[in-house]
Each structure stands twice: as structure tokens, then as C-alpha cells.
């Protein structure tokens, strides 16, 4: 594996060990951790509300950090102490909440995932959750039956790569159709060793046609704008 960066997942078994150590940094998801306490609250355990209030504060800090560009400072001042208090409370509740109860499952998940969840609050570019990815793949999950018979064992990974390109375009504000049309035209003459230059993050988007420009005239920027 040549990928270097972050891999953010829920706490499903094996996902935290994806990629070589030091090359791929594993991140947890506070939204998934919160769901366990939401279930405990629905089950009627009053102790779950305290955790839900802390999760709400963590997500509020993220919103403020994004808005004012002070995410690292706000995390250091507020989020990390809040998360530390949650871990301390979980250490106490894990002693008295049986594993078979909703709260027992919630505090055990929090403690088991604490290292990966803590990285979400210390790594500068890390997100607090992978909610954006969850929303992006929801149409694929809803249409799962449509992907059961893809025709060939190699077609599945190819579709996954195509979906990944399309979702990256959407995250970057790029029109996927324009990108794919341009990509198909460039691929035949583009060196395989420089395939990264064609990724959405490096795609030199055509500049919009200015008012009064001749019909059909499109200027292409010489350098990638992303």
C-alpha cells in the first residue's frame, strides 16, 4: 500500500488496523460513539444523557472552529478536557454497567476506541466524525441490491473507484460530468506514472465563460486551482 494519510472509520473489527503503522493514521468517529449512548438513552438509562450533552458540546466546538478558523485552539481549550472527563466517567460506569446493557455497551465502545477518538481532537486536519462519508455512500447502501450482480469479479473494484472519483468531485465542488468527460479525453496520452495529476484534487478546471465571450470559447487555467 502506497497511500499515506488518514483512514477514518467506525469501530468495526479490523478497520483500525488498515495500512502500515505510521503510514496510515487510524481515526475513530465520535458520531458512531454517540449512537451507543443514544441507544442507552432510548432504553431509559438516565446516565446516558450526561454523555450526550458532552458529545453535543464537542460537535458545537467543531462548528465554531470551522466558522472562525480556530479549530485547533478551541479543541485544545474545550474539546480535549471534555473528552477526558467522558473517559473518566466511563471508567467508573464500566465497573457497574453490565456488558449486556445499552450503557455497558456504550462505555465499553468509548473506552475501546478512546485512542482513535482522541486523535480526532489532536490531529490538525482530522474531522470529528466521518458523517460526510456516511452521507455520500448512503445512495450506494440504499441501492445495494443493484450491485449484487456486477457481471465480473473485477467490475466491483472498478465501480468502487469510479464512485470514489465522483464523490471526491462533489466534495471539491467539481461537476463530475465535466471532470469525467475531460478525464476520458486525457487518459490515452497521459503517462501512467503521472496518473495522480488527473485526480480531482489536481484537475485544472476550465474557467467559466466570461460575459460577452464568443460562443463556445472556454479558457483553461494553466495551473490547477485545487
Task: Give just the sign of the alpha carbon dihedral 147, 151, 155, 159.
Answer: negative
- State whether 173 and 76 are in the same domain: no
Cβ atoms 104, 98 nearer than 8 A: yes
DSSP 175-217: -HHHHHHHHHHHGGGS-GGGGGGGSGGG--PBPPPPTTPPTT-
Q: Mean pLDDT across the chain, nearest whole number? A: 85
User: Is 187 a domain residue?
Assistant: yes
Q: Which structural domain, as residue segments, surrounds residue 166? A: 149-226
- State whether 28 and 59 are in the same domain: yes
- State whether 44 and 117 are in the same domain: yes
- Give the pLDDT mean for 173-202: 90
Query: Minimal CA–CA distance to 74: which of 83, 61, 84?
Result: 61
User: Is 203 a domain residue?
Assistant: yes
What pLDDT does 217 receive?
A: 35
Cβ atoms 49, 41 nearer than 8 A: yes
pTM above 0.75, yes or no: no
- State whether 167 and 61 are in the same domain: no
- State whether 84 and 193 are in the same domain: no
- State whether 67 and 93 are in the same domain: yes
Residue ending a domain, choose from 97, 131, 165: 131
Say which residue the cell 465497573 belongs to.
95
Cell of 81: 478536557
Q: Are β-strands 24-27 and 5-8 bridged in parallel, bridged antiparallel, or unpaired?
A: parallel
- State whether 27 and 87 are in the same domain: yes
- State whether 54 and 85 are in the same domain: yes
- State whether 124 and 14 are in the same domain: yes
User: Is 174 a domain residue?
Assistant: yes
User: Is 142 a domain residue?
Assistant: no
Q: What is the DSSP letter of 5?
A: E
User: Is 138 a domain residue?
Assistant: no
- Give the pLDDT mean for 13-18: 78
User: Is 139 a domain residue?
Assistant: no
- Give the pLDDT mean for 43-61: 97
- Give the pLDDT mean for 30-41: 97
Beta strands in 52-171 (DSSP E): none
- State whether 44 and 123 are in the same domain: yes
User: Is 120 a domain residue?
Assistant: yes
Q: What is the DSSP letter of 128?
A: S
- Report the distance separating Cα 14 and Cα 12, nearest Å: 6
With a cut of 80, say whether residue 226 has pLDDT above it. no
Number of other residues whose CB lies within 10 A of the CB of residue 55: 21
Produce one character per residue of 197-211: b if its CB has 16 or more CB atoms within 10 Å, e if not: eeebeebebeeeeee
User: Is 93 a domain residue?
Assistant: yes
pLDDT: is 52 or 211 the higher one? 52
With a cut of 50, say whether residue 220 has pLDDT above it. no
Q: How confident is the model at residue 214 (pLDDT cuts 50, 70, 90)?
A: very low
- Give the pLDDT mean for 179-208: 85
- State whether 116 and 173 are in the same domain: no
Residue ending a domain, choose from 105, 131, 157: 131
What pLDDT does 221 receive?
A: 33
What pLDDT does 42 receive?
A: 97
pLDDT: is 41 or 195 the higher one? 41
- State whether 36 and 76 are in the same domain: yes
Residue ending a domain, choose from 131, 163, 183: 131
Q: How confident is the model at residue 212 (pLDDT cuts 50, 70, 90)?
A: very low
- What total of structural domains would you count in the chain? 2
Amino acid at each position: 500500500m502506497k497511500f499515506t494519510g488518514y483512514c477514518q472509520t467506525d469501530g468495526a473489527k479490523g478497520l483500525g488496523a488498515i495500512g502500515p503503522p505510521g503510514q496510515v493514521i487510524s481515526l475513530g468517529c465520535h458520531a458512531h460513539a454517540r449512537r451507543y449512548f443514544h441507544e442507552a438513552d432510548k432504553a431509559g438509562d438516565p446516565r446516558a444523557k450526561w454523555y450526550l450533552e458532552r458529545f453535543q458540546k464537542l460537535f458545537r466546538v467543531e462548528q465554531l472552529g470551522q466558522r472562525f478558523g480556530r479549530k485547533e485552539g478551541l479543541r485544545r481549550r474545550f474539546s480535549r478536557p471534555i473528552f477526558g472527563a467522558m473517559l473518566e466517567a466511563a471508567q467508573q460506569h464500566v465497573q457497574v454497567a453490565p456488558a449486556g446493557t445499552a450503557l455497558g455497551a456504550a462505555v465499553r465502545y468509548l473506552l475501546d476506541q478512546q485512542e482513535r477518538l482522541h486523535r480526532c481532537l489532536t490531529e490538525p486536519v482530522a474531522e470529528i466524525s466521518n458523517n460526510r462519508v456516511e452521507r455520500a455512500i448512503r445512495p450506494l447502501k440504499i441501492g445495494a441490491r443493484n450491485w449484487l450482480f456486477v457481471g465480473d469479479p473485477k467490475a466491483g473494484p472498478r465501480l468502487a473507484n469510479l464512485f470514489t472519483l465522483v464523490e471526491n468531485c462533489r466534495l471539491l465542488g467539481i461537476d463530475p460530468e465535466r471532470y469525467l468527460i475531460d478525464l476520458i479525453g486525457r487518459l490515452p496520452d497521459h503517462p501512467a506514472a503521472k496518473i495522480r495529476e488527473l485526480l480531482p484534487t489536481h484537475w485544472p478546471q476550465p474557467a467559466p465563460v466570461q460575459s460577452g465571450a464568443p460562443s463556445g470559447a472556454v479558457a483553461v487555467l494553466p495551473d490547477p486551482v485545487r
